[in-house]
Structure 1
Amino acid sequence: MAQAKFSRRGVLRAGGAGLLSAGVLGTLTAGSARAAVPASQRFDLSEPSYDVFRGVMLDEAHHAMQGMAFDAVNRRLFIVQIRDGSSGDDLCINQLDESGKVVGSMHLDKAGHGVSIGVEPVGKDSYVWVECDADSSDDSGRGTALARFKFVAGAAPSGIKKFFTGSDTITCATDPVNSRILVRRKESGKMTFRLYDFSSIDVENGTFTKELAKITQPTLGNGSVTFQGYTVLGSYLYTLDGTGHADAADINSYVTSIDLNTGKVVERFLTKAGKSLVYREPEGMAIMRTSGGEVRLCFGFASRTSVGNINRYANVFHKNVLI
């Protein structure tokens, strides 16, 4: 399939539906919060969505994209997916250039599902943050720690540092504008987010200090939604949920913004970005800052050329209006 290039605005192909009330969407229950994050602007989720790229086949042709992250310093995009032939917990991390072309990949065994990943620029290098040490070797496997290692295309991960070992269902996302990392894991039976500055991490000793925020994940849609990704910018958490579908009339993919200082849902929006994609399934979120300085909220969808086709393709869209 043809690959579209990154552009400053992209081509408007699919917008979203109007902001719906909590009564239509189901219960919107705020999570508990303990935070003092400097207030920031947030994305207006009701604004149109634009293409970043469509129809990109990743290194593992038979598996959908999962989480993604941008290295805004070195202009790199990383997308993770389960490996072809894996029992379900072995991951492939793809590096893409700014045209949407895959330029390299790395494999991480027994890692988890890859719902969300992070990346930390260190000079000219990109260090990937991703779950590891899965609790099961099948598709139900989820990470029990976070791994940090330098991305080197074609090489096995080396010099791995591990954090939060012994966790339950742990993942992360990164804020490339404010140099922060958001860690999500289950604590006392509740999915919990904790926000940190990269500067507060002691890599050698595996410790995080100076926590900026802690919130429990709000309940959306009476708790029946399928969680598909998240990211963070400033004082707001953004989530993506929904399921795959063959009929555009069945679209149920929502983007949601949550205030990290209060744990409250600020906006929840049904997005129809990429509604013409075949078997469109929401997968992954990330914050991108373009070379021109524009900040974008990116979210992905896996697709096929036909419902019965085993090959999967990556498609990424963005919103860019801050309020």
Structure 2
Amino acid sequence: MLCPITRRGLFNAGGLGIFVLELIIALLGLGVSVQTALSPPPPPPRFDLTEPSHDLFRSKSLHDVKVQQSFAFDNVNRRLFVAQRRDGSSDTAGDLCITQLDFDGNYVGYMYLTDFGHGVAFGAQGVGSSTYLWTEVEASSSGYGKKLARFKFTSGSTLSSTSSALTKFTPVSEATEHTCSIDPVNNNLVVRYSLSDGKHIAVYGLADAANGDFSSPLADFKQPSLGSLSPTFQGYAAYGQYLYVLTGNSYDLTGGEVNSQVTSINMNTGAIAQGPVLTRAGSTLTYREPEGMAIYQTGAGEVRLFLGFASGEVGDRRSNLFYKNVLV
């Protein structure tokens, strides 16, 4: 369970955690009821999905020209990566292009991944001055990755699914597909996986996952039904105990109508907390297909929920990122 306060959280708080424990022991020794002496902790914050979105950038080019699929932030090294299917590859080949941009949307570098997956979501983990990407890998016949892989981002290089530079994981042994996202504030790995009865979500400590330990998920539940206007799944991100999901279609499919929605899910219960809420972020974009979500925390400490959209014409698709920053 992703509880607001855990024993680990208390100990990680250092001196404050020890002080609180000592205070509780002292109060118990005096026969004082802790329930009346200490107020209950406040609920963890959740993004208000009804609040407006703000632009990070619009209409930025990626290394290849297909639509973006997802994006991820390395919150340690302040880097941004965007995934798209590789030019010239079939939609089911699982070949991806990862473009690195700066936060103004300027091109920095790229990496090609062969036989990895669809690119619905991925994570970026800062380790020292390096960035390690977490992606799906070993594409099935439908083009979605069967396992997860972790590897160092190296601009200008190409990795295949059989490369020795990869560390591969199968978090849920019976699952047929895996994708993942990183909560960079709480250092958790969120895994979306497929079983015979549908999609499920599991959460693991990022350090444990990097060591191959998936034995004790912090949460594990079946994904609820999403998207009252369109169930087309377009991305997810997590902050604390809440999962955020983006659904919807491009203007090509909706006839120019906005049907993109954002939903929050309480991962402690598996129940919807808010939504689906219609989002009109980037409503004036051409094509406008919802594509990807991510969490980023600024240097000043502000946590942002990012929404991605593809725009532009065939042969010249562009990347667009927006964010919400109001917590309740």
TM-score > 0.5, shorter chain as reference: yes
CA contact (8 A) 1:227 1:240 kept: yes
Task: Give the match for residue 27 of structure 2.
Answer: none
Residues 1:71 and 1:221: Cα distance change in structure 2 (over 3 Å):
closer
Q: 182-191 or 225-234, which moves further after superposition? A: 182-191
Ranges in structure 1 where 5+ consecutive residues have no aligned partner: 1-34
Task: Give the match for residue 56 of structure 1.
Answer: 60
How far has the Cα of 1:120 moved from its partner?
1.1
Per-residue Cα deviation, 1:138-185 (whole angstroms, up to 9, x for no partner): xx3110000100001012345200001774221001001011110001
TM-score by length of 2: 0.81
How far has the Cα of 1:291 moved from its partner?
2.1
How far has the Cα of 1:310 moved from its partner?
2.5
Q: Distance in 2 between matches of 1:159 and 1:144?
A: 18
Amino acid of the structure 1 residue aligned with 2:290: P
Amino acid of the structure 1 residue aligned with 2:240: G
How many equivalent residue pairs?
280
Residue aligned with 1:314, SS: strand
Amino acid of the structure 2 residue aligned with 1:299: L
Q: Distance in 2 between matches of 1:214 and 1:40?
A: 19
Amino acid of the structure 2 residue aligned with 1:313: R
Counterparts of 1:27-106 in structure 2, within 5 Å, are 35-38=1-4, 40-61=44-65, 63-88=66-91, 89-106=94-111
Counterparts of 1:201-216 in structure 2, within 5 Å, are 201-203=209-211, 206-216=212-222
Q: Distance in 2 between matches of 1:71 and 1:261?
A: 26
Counterparts of 1:70-219 in structure 2, within 5 Å, are 70-88=73-91, 89-136=94-141, 140-157=142-159, 159-164=165-170, 167-203=175-211, 206-219=212-225
How far has the Cα of 1:221 moved from its partner?
4.3
Q: Distance in 1 between matches of 2:188 and 2:120?
A: 18
Q: Distance in 2 between matches of 1:167 and 1:64?
A: 27
1:240 maps to which of 243, 246, 261 = 246
Q: Distance in 2 between matches of 1:135 and 1:233?
A: 30
Counterparts of 1:1-40 in structure 2, within 5 Å, are 35-38=1-4, 40=44
Residue aligned with 2:204, SS: strand
Runs of 4+ off more than 3 Å: 221-224, 246-249
Residue aligned with 1:210, SS: coil
Q: Distance in 1 between matches of 2:134 and 2:229?
A: 28
Q: 251-260 or 98-107, which moves further after superposition? A: 98-107
Task: Give the match for residue 287 of structure 1.
Answer: 295
Amino acid of the structure 2 residue aligned with 1:155: S
Q: Distance in 1 between matches of 2:290 and 2:100?
A: 20
Structure with bigger gyration radius: 2
CA contact (8 A) 1:37 1:213 kept: no
CA contact (8 A) 1:248 1:276 kept: no
Q: Distance in 2 between matches of 1:240 and 1:42?
A: 16
Ranges in structure 2 where 5+ consecutive residues have no aligned partner: 5-42
How far has the Cα of 1:314 moved from its partner?
0.4
Amino acid of the structure 2 residue aligned with 1:58: L
Residues 1:249 and 1:60: Cα distance change in structure 2 (over 3 Å):
closer
Task: Give the match for residue 250 of structure 1.
Answer: 257
Per-residue Cα deviation, 1:278-306 (whole angstroms, up to 9, x for no partner): 011000000011222211000100001x5
Task: Give the match for residue 9 of structure 1.
Answer: none
Task: Give the match for residue 317 of structure 2.
Answer: 312
Per-residue Cα deviation, 1:75-132 (whole angstroms, up to 9, x for no partner): 0011110000012220011111122112111111011110000111111111000011
Greater relative CO, 1 or 2 (CA 8 Å, sep 6+): 1
CA contact (8 A) 1:144 1:166 kept: no
More helix by share: 2
Residue aligned with 2:90, SS: coil
Per-residue Cα deviation, 1:216-270 (whole angstroms, up to 9, x for no partner): 1111246951000000000000000000005785110001100001111111110
Q: 121-130 or 288-297, which moves further after superposition? A: 288-297
Task: Give the match for residue 18 of structure 2.
Answer: none
CA contact (8 A) 1:218 1:263 kept: yes
Q: Distance in 1 between matches of 2:280 and 2:103?
A: 24
Residue aligned with 1:292, SS: coil
